[in-house]
Chains A and B, each alone.
Chain A
Amino acid sequence: EAQVTQNPRYLITVTGKKLTVTCSQNMNHEYMSWYRQDPGLGLRQIYYSMNVEVTDKGDVPEGYKVSRKEKRNFPLILESPSPNQTSLYFCASSLRSASGPIEQYFGPGTRLTVT
């Protein structure tokens, strides 16, 4: 089954404790991205990757890191989480057309709470 998986689905942590949210897709997509969803703000892109070893900032990259060492995996790293990073996080992947990514396939989400 074609899918995007994320782990963990739920995470409660404390301020400053480094964490990693994993994301993996089995569709051989070049493009992957991370979003956060906050009430009243819709989805905002954190980082994206056009291919292995190619990453770039989205609209809200502060406080986050990513890496793309393999095509299927795109982990999101919070080196020193803060309470304002409490949110619902989604990973997504997409085929890439000549003009960039097209429709995206989303993971189930990771609900992160930072106390």
Chain B
Amino acid sequence: GQNIDQPTEMTATEGAIVQINCTYQTSGFNGLFWYQQHAGEAPTFLSYNVLDGLEEKGRFSSFLSRSKGYSYLLLKELQMKDSASYLCAVMDSNYQLIWGAGTKLIIKP
């Protein structure tokens, strides 16, 4: 079967750095996405990785290792507005998105 695993919940301090991990087992691979979802709102696109390595976008970076079936989202200089759920999704060989259940990130002052 296809599976995406990510921690259910994480807590971090304002101004700090947090890494949210995602491991996957899918039928083929055509890219990995990270989305941010604030409570009661729609998911919004953060990043896309299809090749191994690190993609940086401001305070957010996403890393991919295809051989390990592993990705992480790194958030730097955490702000209170970063409190949200972070969803990992993998596009499989049929170009279907397989979604993780999401990681709820709680930021404390």
User: Do the two shown chains form a genuine complex with each other?
Assistant: no
Q: Which residues of B line the A interface, CB within 8 A?
A: none
Q: Which residues of A line the B interface, CB within 8 A?
A: none
